[in-house]
A and B are shown apart, each in its own frame.
Chain A
């Protein structure tokens, strides 16, 4: 057993899981509270990456780039909510699908217009570009930073949702919409904040991954699908569910891709295992989703009603 590889893969899984959580937490709240299907949530992920790359290039500081870009994406999210989404909460889901697909086309093309068809690289400062040696283990420091940042945001979100007044309203909204409006909460403001906050979190995820993968058009349309799976597995409207499901899927996907071949080789001829493994590992998370739906259609951690 190659321990260096295993630990690296575990960290990759954790990193993917946390990024997925950043995207899925907003998505699940928007579903749960507004009953709105936002296919263009992945666009905020992409915009975050591109905007951050521009600001970082201008200012020379990744830190300033991230802080400013999060604010910009928050504002874009707020604008989308105000101008478009708000008008459609009462409509049927077909309208949500159409309008947010339209938004994807618009954002993708705008990104193409502004940043060109090539991907944009965010270069890391030397301080983050190194490696940390722990005895025989070598870990890239930026990946550790992503994990640290992801965990910090997750903990922050946990306290926001469970401890604050805003969080109380959000939780109430996710489990019982009528009740919140009956309590006299300013529902318009709540919706605006949830939508924009969700956008900013997805944007942050895009910024964090961009130095590794580069910012590219279409990056959002890939992550959004996995984020949907996370939302379904975790239970719609549940931030806690999104957290556990994101980590679970992050690990399964990463470890499946690296170890499924070895595992299958125990049962199949090595040649068959080699052909079957990539296909099967691509299907793993969807099989998990189907299994969850078959046995717990409401998700693993549905928002509680009490």
Chain B
């Protein structure tokens, strides 16, 4: 049956990337995201624009995580560190009254790429279990380092009084402009991922996820490909952090606490790992769920925790898997190496 399904697609990878929903659903999703500010402003519900902006910023981080977990099979538990790095690259220059957005963005790209490179060089020498713990440990290292820096507010963080300036281009103090900037970058990341996963690089990366030993026997230095993917993902998440710092107008070490990294993984799994639009679906659903549950009771984490356990123990494959009743289950089950 799976053979037939594959033969209707020139590339099976393409089929997997799309998930099980028809193309129209994704078109509708993108259109909805494009017109959302207009709709929200018309209904005078600016709160929802905030929620959606936040969700899309997080979706960038989740999309970058998808690159390494969903396509590369590297389960990183320190991804929130990159969000924090990006945010501090806005906060610290602003603290010294440097408001130029290009400086902020450039620093965010540079610092997150460098952190990814340095930690990746070490993390990727190891396998599965170690990788998870080491990415976690390095993220915590950064967390504790920032906690100990009194100059930048230590535990309490820094308030960003003014957003990054892009004079003459756009003004992200305007919530709608910020929203579109975020959306544009998110769609750009997704398109880049789409291209990469169908290009040679992506094939090698996906091969590494499923059978690294085989890829080595084919003559590929898998370490190199995984490291490149890790650096690209880290940089994407760093830019997401740049947006997050600007959006919340506030930064603190708490942003990179490992529980946030775990939440990013949760969102990825809700949306479906290895599916292009999964991160967007996952992030939006998660934030809506958070908003809704936390309105109920202060103990909403209990419900979230139970849901998470149930999701793993009883149903696999995330929302995409649930929507299509398991026809894509194979892709989730063959991930062990």
- Report A's interface with B, CB cutoff 8 A: 31, 35, 37, 39, 84, 87-88, 91-95, 97-99, 101-106, 108-110, 112-113, 221, 225, 228-229, 231-232, 236, 275, 278-279, 281-283, 286, 289-290, 293-294, 297
Contacts and interface: CB of A to CB of B under 8 A. Distances in A.
Contacts of A232: 130, 133-134, 137
5 contacts: A93-B128, A94-B335, A102-B306, A109-B299, A290-B122
A109 B305 CA distance: 9
B313 interface: yes
A289 B265 CA distance: 24
B149 A279 contact: yes
B69 A94 contact: yes
Contact of B138 (A231, A236, A286): A286
B308 interface: yes
B145 A279 contact: yes
B305 A106 contact: yes
Contacts of B308: 98-99, 101-102, 105
Contacts of A31: 129
A92 B148 contact: no
A94 B122 contact: no
Nearest to B119: A290
B32 interface: no
B148 A231 contact: no
Given A109-B305, A225-B136, A97 B77 contact: yes
Interface string B290-334: 000000001101101111110111001000000000000000000
B301 A98 contact: no
B115 to A, nearest CB: 13
Which 3 pairs show the lowest CB-CB distances between chains A and B? A105-B305, A102-B308, A278-B148
A106 B309 CA distance: 9
Contacts of A94: 69, 75, 265, 269, 273, 335
Contacts of B150: 275, 278
Given A88-B312, A95-B312, A286-B141, A109 B301 contact: yes
Given A94-B273, A275-B151, A37 B129 contact: yes
B11 interface: no
Contacts of B138: 286, 290
Contacts of A283: 141, 144-145
A99 B304 CA distance: 11
B336 interface: yes
Contact of B305 (A102, A225, A290, A297): A102
A249 B61 CA distance: 33
A64 to B, nearest CB: 30
B189 to A, nearest CB: 21
Given A94-B273, A95-B316, 14 more contacts: A93-B75, A93-B129, A98-B262, A98-B266, A101-B262, A102-B305, A102-B308, A103-B305, A105-B301, A105-B304, A109-B305, A110-B302, A282-B145, A293-B122
Interface of B: 69, 75, 77, 122, 125-126, 128-130, 132-134, 136-138, 140-141, 144-145, 147-151, 258-259, 262, 265-266, 269, 273, 298-299, 301-302, 304-309, 311-313, 316, 335-336
Given A289-B134, A297-B125, A98 B312 contact: yes
Nearest to A87: B313
A297 B125 CA distance: 8
Contacts of B148: 278-279, 281-282
A112 B297 CA distance: 12
A180 to B, nearest CB: 19
Contacts of B335: 92, 94
Q: Name the residue in A109, A231, A283 with the highest tally of chain B Cβ atoms < 10 Å from its Cβ.
A: A109
Contacts of A101: 259, 262, 265-266, 305, 308
B301 A92 contact: no
Point out which of A101, A104, A113 has the most chain B C-beta atoms below 10 A from its C-beta.
A101
A288 B75 CA distance: 23
Contacts of A97: 75, 77, 132, 262, 265
A41 to B, nearest CB: 12
A217 B194 CA distance: 42
Contact of B309 (A84, A110, A221, A225): A84
Contacts of A229: 133, 137
Given A93-B129, A232-B137, A106 B122 contact: no
B311 A98 contact: yes
A105 B290 CA distance: 13
Contacts of B125: 293-294, 297
Which of A39, A87, A105, A221 is the most central at the interface, judged by chain B CB atoms within 10 Å of its CB?
A105
Q: Counting chain B CB atoms within 10 Å of each CB, which of A37, A229, A282 scores highest?
A: A282
Given A98-B266, A221-B259, A289 B137 contact: yes
A286 B262 contact: no
Contacts of B299: 109, 112-113
A187 B258 CA distance: 33
Nearest to A293: B122
Contacts of B311: 98
B140 A225 contact: yes
Contacts of B265: 94, 97-98, 101
A289 B269 CA distance: 30
Contacts of B129: 31, 35, 37, 93, 236
A123 to B, nearest CB: 28
Nearest to A299: B130
B302 A297 contact: no
A161 B144 CA distance: 35
